[in-house]
A and B are shown apart, each in its own frame.
Chain A
Amino acid sequence: MSESRLRELYLRAMARRAPATRDACPSPDDLLALAEGRAPAGRRDELLDHVTTCAACHGEFVLLRTPVTTGRAAPRVWAWWGLAAAAAVAAVGAGWWALGRGEGEAVRGDAEALEVVAPGPSAPRARLAFMWRSVPGATGYEVRLGAAGSGLRSLGATTDTAYRPADAPAPGDYVWIVRALFSDGRAIRSLPRRLTVTP
């Protein structure tokens, strides 16, 4: 039996043994400690025994280990970790203005909706930039914006998940959305958000 066949069969058995719940699984922090080589020897062996037999934890472990693997060659400056953590806390503060739903386009539930990241409720005209989270399968995105109380018009389109308009709208109050476009003509969009553009 070839090694590739052995691997295939081992993975199959591991997948079949996936736990119904994750109650007995190590925490993400434990998995990260293992990925970074910070787990004490005894604990490391326990964690490895679990990770190499639990498909769910192994998937998470591989994911957590990816930055470690890719960043191995880079010098580690742990002081920056504090800045990254601060940025993460700031991200939690992003708010939603749900003003209603559009016609003919899907706006999924909060957990799956096209999630907008920036700008916040107000932004200076010179630094206006739109950002959102990527949508799997989307081939492009369109940012639409309109003055409060009027219709939305296309501000621009991009294949990226960020857009900075070359000609930012004049100071004022607006509503904006971003649409994710798919190759088959479908589109989903974010919930509308208010935006005050300041001078």
Chain B
Amino acid sequence: MTAPADLLSPALEAVVLRFAGMVRAVGRRHGLEESDLDEVIQDVRIRLWRARESGERIAGSPSSYVYQTARSATLDLVRRRRGRGGRPEVVALDPGGGDLAGHDGPDRAMEDSELAEAVFRAVEALMDSRRRVVRLHLLGYESAEIAGLLGWSGGKTRNLLSRGLADLRERLRELGVGPGGLQ
């Protein structure tokens, strides 16, 4: 195999590589499919290459250019998926190595299914502000990210998250879900 072709300037290629590394890190944290990330990263390179070939000058801030290109590439990927009727893979965070499929037989699977519904219903029953922050927390977002998404201060976010999680555990106890599962 030969070395990769030098199609972008070294400076721009370096930015693309750095961006690719960051995208993969974020993508892995949120359980995104590698193929999705590959598609976005490759699309970014293609668009940059096309811009260069068409004589566009990527000057000033190559980082900004790369990120804006990534933004449009990602949006187009989602649109293409929708157009094809495709459904993205379920985003499964893996905060503790949990296995969503379960391998302990049908009884365990049934219990997990019931537990999952119980957790979902318990979250649904939380008051609005606490429900949103708890949902985001359960989906793996950190406090700072949640604060940004909700437009809240860090203190408010941490406070409502703490109260929301306490409420959630209380509701689960009421539903008969204890530390070990259904009771």
Q: A: which residues have CB within 8 A of B?
A: 1-18, 22, 28-29, 31-32, 34, 37, 41, 44-45, 48-49, 52-53, 55-56, 58-60, 62-64, 66-71, 74-78, 80-81, 83-88, 90-91, 111, 117-118, 127, 129, 131, 133-134, 136, 140, 156-164
* 9 pairs from A and B in contact (CB 8 Å cutoff): A10-B139, A22-B87, A29-B75, A48-B135, A66-B74, A70-B67, A80-B65, A131-B46, A156-B2
A199–chain B nearest beta-carbon distance, Å: 18
Question: Which residues of A sit under 8 angstroms from B168, Cβ to Cβ?
Answer: 6
In the complex with contacts A133-B46, A161-B42, A58-B91 CB distance below 8 A: yes
Task: Tell whether, in the assembled complex, residue B140 and residue A52 are in contact, meaning their CB atoms are under 8 Å apart.
Answer: no
Indicate if the CB atoms of B148 and A37 lie closer than 8 Å: yes
Known contacts A7-B98, A28-B79; is-contact A78 B68 (Cβ 8 Å): yes
Q: What residue in chain B is nearest A161 (Cβ atoms)?
A: B42
Q: Is the CB of A11 within 8 A of B93?
A: yes
CA distance A63 to B89 in the complex (A): 11
- List A contacts of B180 (CB < 8 A): 1
With contacts A8-B98, A63-B74 known, is A52 near B139, CB below 8 A? yes
Q: Please tell me if B158 contacts chain A, counting CB pairs below 8 Å.
A: no
A48: chain B residues at CB < 8 Å are 132, 135-136, 149-150
Q: Which residues of A contact B143 (CB under 8 A)?
A: none
List chain B residues, Cβ under 8 A from A11.
90-93, 100, 138-139
Contact across chains for B26 and A158 when beta carbons are under 8 A apart: no
Give every chain A residue within 8 A of B179 (Cβ-Cβ): 1
Asked if A83 and B42 make an inter-chain contact with CB atoms under 8 angstroms apart, the answer reads no
B11 contacts partner chain A, Cβ-Cβ < 8 Å:
no
Q: Residues 95-136 of chain B: 1 if any A CB is under 8 Å from the residue's CB, otherwise 0?
A: 111111000000000001101111110010000100010011
Check A9–B115 contact: CB distance below 8 A. yes
Q: Which residues of chain A are within 8 angstroms of B71 by Cβ–Cβ distance? A: 32, 67-68, 71, 81, 84
Least distance between B112 CB and chain A CB atoms (Å): 7
Task: List chain B residues, Cβ under 8 A from A7.
Answer: 93, 95-96, 98, 138-140
B50 touches A162 (CB 8 A): no
- Give chain A nearest CB distance to B87 CB in angstroms: 5
Contact with A along B58-76 (1 / 0, CB 8 A): 1011011111111111111
Question: Smallest Cβ distance from B139 to chain A, in angstroms?
Answer: 6
New A-B pairs, 8, CB < 8 Å, besides A77-B60, A88-B73, A133-B43: A7-B95, A10-B138, A10-B139, A22-B82, A70-B23, A75-B63, A80-B58, A162-B5
Indicate if the CB atoms of A90 and B54 lie closer than 8 Å.
yes
Chain B residue contacts of A32, Cβ below 8 A: 71, 75
Specify which chain B residues have a CB less than 8 angstroms from the CB of A164 in the assembled complex: 5-7
| Neighbouring A residues of B135 by C-beta, 8 Å | 10, 48, 52-53
Known contacts A41-B151, A91-B46, A158-B4; is A52 also within 8 Å of B132 by CB? yes
Residue contact B1 to A140, C-beta cutoff 8 Å = yes
Q: Which of chain A's residues have a CB closer than 8 A to the CB of B60?
A: 77
Give complex CA distance A1, B111 in Å: 14
Chain A residues, Cβ within 8 Å of B75: 28-29, 32, 64
Q: Which of chain B's residues 1-30 have a Cβ closer than 8 Å to chain A?
A: 1-7, 19, 22-23, 26-27, 30
CA distance A81 to B51 in the complex (A): 12
Report the minimal beta-carbon distance from A78 to chain B, rounded to whole angstroms.
Answer: 7
The complex places the Cα of A76 from the Cα of B65 at a distance, in Å, of: 8
